[in-house]
Amino acid sequence: MAEKKQLRVLGVESSCDETAAAIVENGRAILSSVIASQVDLHAQFGGVYPELASREHVKAIYATVNEALQQAHLQLKDLDGIAVTRGPGLAGSLVVGVNMAKGLAMAAELPIVGVNHLEGHIYSAWLHPAENAPGPEPKFPLIALLVSGGHTELILMRDHLQYQRLGGTVDDAAGEAFDKVARLLDLPYPGGPSIQKAGMEGNPKAFNFPKARLSEPYNFSFSGIKTAVLRTVEEFKSNKKELPVADLAASFQAAVVGALFEKTMAAGEEFKAREIIVAGGVSANKPLREAFRSQTSYRVHIPALSLCTDNAAMIAGAGYRHLVAGQVDALDFDVLPNWPLVAAG
Ligand SMILES: Nc1ncnc2c1ncn2[C@@H]1O[C@H](COP(=O)(O)OP(=O)(O)OP(=O)(O)O)[C@@H](O)[C@H]1O
Ligand SMILES: [Mg+2]
């Protein structure tokens, strides 16, 4: 990338059901961030409907990118690079963002880099609105707890772009567990916010859902808790008793938050981390945020609520790190729907 003081990267994100574009300066300051959400469209199916998602991206992507440029009062020629989500995600959805980004890179002769969506979630911890002063930058070594709709991973980062996987879920992702339990409780999609809302009036100690016993210290399992909720629901239904939705939601949430918090803290201690990042859609969860904020052992970085779920500013932020490290992709790269953040082995 050009050696300038202000490097502006356009981020493009279309891995799932949000079409997003954003412009970020020097990997931190958000000049604009636009998200066209399809959540209302998919709510009728209780989850994301892949073919519909890619076609919605096709319709929305041009206006979304245009809006991101306009809100930042910039033109393509003012940009220094383009970052786009290459995976993981829905193949048909990823293709739309990648092709848009490639077209722009070709037309404006800009360097382009394909970014891992999960890396984007982690780099949301560096972002701040351009009109606000930046907060302290995360310091290495750090532990990143990545909790989203499709992933739950504990990552050790000793430097930028260096990821060591300490563990992750062996079954459902945390967000997936929230979504499935919400369905069991007849709460609307997406499940995370619904469970949080319902749980506000409930007693988190009403039900004691079991902790998963796992041989690997930093792995997670949420399917046991989900099954325990299912059994409880069935029991109430067969006894024709009214379902204590608020108590079930609060107790389920407390069990998930407890596991996430305890393992992250233990990893921090073992690997002598200086700081912790909590990112991904589930990091919007209030009790989870409160658990991390009320401890005093580590400085914790949790993105602003608007940056927890999918957005393109996080992709621009991560892409900036690659571009300044000289990592640029040729224009023939393919999407990687199953791209892990850390390769196995
Ligand atoms: N307040 C909340 N509490 C708990 N979970 C939440 C909350 N808000 C959102 N979520 C969950 O976050 C998930 C969506 O997060 P995100 O957009 O990062 O996931 P995704 O992009 O679908 O998956 P991935 O990033 O793994 O590809 C959903 O499962 C949703 O239920
Ligand atoms: Mg995501």
Atom of ligand 1 nearest to the CA of 150: 26
Q: Which atom of ligand 1 lies closest to the CA of 182?
A: 31
Q: What is the pLDDT of residue 185?
A: 97
With a 6 Å cutoff on the Cβ, whether 180 touches ligand 1 is: no
CATH of 142-302, one of 3.40.50.2300, 3.30.420.40, 3.90.660.10, 3.30.230.10: 3.30.420.40
Predicted pLDDT of residue 134: 94
Q: Are 156 and 266 in contact (CB under 8 A)?
A: no
pLDDT at 163: 98
Q: How far is the CA of 328 from the centre of ligand 2 (A)?
A: 23
Strands 81-87 and 8-13: parallel
E-assigned strand segments in 67-151: 81-87, 112-116, 128-129, 142-147
CB-ligand 1 contact for 85 (6 Å cutoff): no
Residues with CB under 5 A from ligand 2 (ion): 148, 310
Domains 8-127+307-324 and 142-302 are alike in CATH topology: yes
- Measured from the alpha carbon of residue 341, the closest ligand is 1
Q: Identify the CATH homologous superfamily for domain 8-127+307-324.
A: ATPase, nucleotide binding domain (3.30.420.40)
The mean pLDDT values, 10 residues at a time, for the chain of 345 residues are 82 95 98 89 71 92 98 98 98 98 98 98 98 96 96 98 97 96 94 97 95 92 96 96 97 98 98 98 98 97 95 98 98 98 82
Q: Using DSSP bridges, classify how beta strands 299-301 and 275-279 pair: parallel, antiparallel or unpaired.
A: parallel
User: Please, where are the H alpha helices in 78-222?
Assistant: 91-108, 117-123, 174-184, 191-199
Helices (H) and strands (E) in the chain, counts: 11, 11
CB distance 199 to ligand 1 below 6 Å? no
Whole-number Å distance, alpha carbon 134 to ligand 1 midpoint, is 25
- Provide the pLDDT for residue 50: 79
List % helix, strand, coil for the chain (3-state, nearest 5). 45, 20, 40
Residue 137, number of CB atoms within 10 A of its CB: 11
Number of neighbouring beta carbons within 10 Å of residue 39:
12
CA 282, 137, 13, 325: dihedral to nearest 10 degrees?
A: -140
Burial class (CB in 10 A: 0-12, 13-18, 19+), 330: exposed
Domain residue limits, the chain: 8-127+307-324, 142-302
Q: For the segment 110-131, what is each residue's pLDDT rounded down to a tens digit?
A: 999 999 999 999 999 999 999 9
User: What local confidence, expressed as pLDDT, does residue 5 receive?
Assistant: 82
**Mutation test of ligand 1: which of 151, 195, 289, 309 has the most ligand atoms closer than 8 Å to its C-beta?**
309
Q: Are 143 and 154 in contact (CB under 8 A)?
A: yes
Taken in order 291, 296, 298, 300, the sign of the CA dihedral is positive
